[in-house]
Amino acid sequence: MNIDFQKMINNMKTKQISRARLFALSLCGVALTLLGTSQAYADSESGRRICNPSPAISLTFPPLVFDGGADGPTIGQPINSGWGTSLVSPNYFSGDDCLISVGISLPTAQGTRPTGQTYTEGGVTYPVYRTNIANIGLILGIKATSAANYVPIVFPATYFFPVPTPSQNMGISVQAKLIVIGRLTSGVYPIEAQSLFLVYANGQGDKTADGGELILNASTVTIKASTCQMVGGTSQSVPLLPVGKTQFSGEGSSAGAPADFKLTTLCGSGVKLYATMTDGSDPGNTGNILKPAEGTTASGVSVQILRDGLPISFGPDSSASGNTNQWYIGTANSGGSEVFTIPLKARYVQTEANMVAGAVKARTTVTFSYQ
């Protein structure tokens, strides 16, 4: 079977433009419905109808409530388990002589806008599309009802095939899922109704069967994102007492008493608190020795930060779940807020065999993740 997909797409785009003009003319009316009425698939020579008109179809996410840490769902992962919504239209393309070889979906002008992110499930990679809600995206899958597997809706066109190919008539199935594309913030967010894409099919003699639109209906997403607040200041200076070069015993050795300091946070109910420490002078540092900061005049010596007596390894300044060298602090009680105190120590560490006396300064930041 030879199908000129590009010719089909060009024909469909021409029809989309014509429809867009028709919709524009309709704006002077009292109201404009997204559903519209689709054309029939007809034999251009005889005018004989081959496929019956296909109606517009719609997806609706049930109202969703997410109650958890602001960083709980990993960016690029679903906001909850399972497919959020799906539909089956068993007689989407139908008629006594409606013989379908391939189905095609094309985005509408209003519809699917790629984010550049992807989501993979079951070995299938889906492009993530934008919704009107910041930090929440959408993935879509489509298939003929006779087929076993969904295929991702991709830009600029998606092809899906009935089983067998060609088939007398063809139903379609669509499913959608919401994906986290940024850090969640608390609030009630309306999902706006919008036209996502148009569905077509190709049949006898490479004739195009017009389908209808797929509409995303209005719904709401409620985010109850729990976080933590620092108790006390968000900036600290930790002084280390002077030491002499002779107090060190070689590279990796320490000298003098460590300086104690602590971080204290108040966390909302149920928050799983994680933290990452970042080298303020070298954010890409994933070792456990801070790079000397501006104002350092000594050489061959720097600073380590200890937690539970062990040097902390540094990671990127990110709250994402699973960040490099992120560590777990604790989970707040489900019955109310809880205070976490994180005791830390700072100490000198020799970094080179030859040392030069002078001032030693280092900087670090801590990024908390609320999971």
Q: Who has greater pLDDT, 249 or 203?
A: 249
Query: Residue 172: what pLDDT?
Result: 96
Mean pLDDT, to the nearest integer, of 114-131?
95
In the three-class reduction of DSSP (H, G, I as helix; E, B as strand; rest coil), residue 206 is classed as helix
CB neighbour list of residue 362: distance below 8 Å, 6 or more residues apart? 280, 281, 290, 291, 292, 293, 296, 302, 303
| Tokens of residue 288, six digits | 């456990």
State residue 42's pLDDT score. Answer: 52
Max distance between CA atoms of the chain, in angstroms, equals 101
Assign 203 a pLDDT band (cuts: 50, 70, 90): confident
Q: Using CA atoms, how far apart are residues 127 and 118, in angstroms rounded to an integer?
A: 4
Distance CA 359, CA 355 (A): 12
Task: Give φ, ψ of 8 to 5 degrees.
Answer: -60, -45
For the chain, percent of residues with pLDDT exceeding 70: 86
Q: Is 322 helix (H, G, I), strand (E, B) or coil?
A: coil
Q: Is the per-residue pLDDT at 44 higher than 80? A: no
Q: With a cut of 60, say whether residue 27 has pLDDT above it.
A: no
More confident residue, 4 or 140: 140
Residue with more model confidence, 260 or 50: 260
Q: Are 66 and 233 in contact (CB under 8 A)?
A: no
pLDDT at 48: 52
Confidence band for 11, pLDDT divided at 50, 70 and 90 = low
Q: Is the pLDDT of residue 33 over 50?
A: no
Bridge partners of 189, per DSSP, are: 221
Q: What is the mean pLDDT of residues 108-136?
A: 90
| Euclidean distance between CA atoms 64 and 224, whole angstroms | 11
Q: Rounded to an integer, what distance in angstroms lies between the CA atom of residue 78 and that of residue 282? A: 33
User: Which domains does the chain carry?
Assistant: 5-9+33-225 (2.60.40.1410), 228-233+243-370 (2.60.40.1090)
- 199: Cβ contacts below 8 Å, ≥ 6 apart: 54, 92, 103, 104, 105, 142, 172, 211, 212, 213, 214
C-alpha dist (Å) from residue 291 to 4, 140, 294, 296: 60, 46, 10, 10
Please report which confidence band the pLDDT of residue 23 belongs to, taking 50, 70 and 90 as the band edges.
very low
In terms of Cα–Cα distance, which of 367, 322, 325, 269 is closest to 77? 322
Average pLDDT across the chain, whole number: 86
Question: Which of 7-21, 147-161, 234-248 is predicted least confidently?
Answer: 7-21
CA distance 346 to 162: 66
Residue 41 confidence (pLDDT):
52
DSSP lists the bridge partners of residue 263 as 342
267-294 residue pLDDT tens = 988 899 999 999 999 999 999 999 999 9
- Under the banding of pLDDT at 50, 70 and 90, the label for residue 365 is very high
Asked if residue 46 has pLDDT above 70, the reply is: no
329: its two tokens: 């602090």
Tokens of 22: 């028709």
Q: What is the mean pLDDT of residues 308-320?
A: 96
Of 215 and 155, the one with more pLDDT: 215
Q: Higher pLDDT residue, 24 or 39?
A: 39
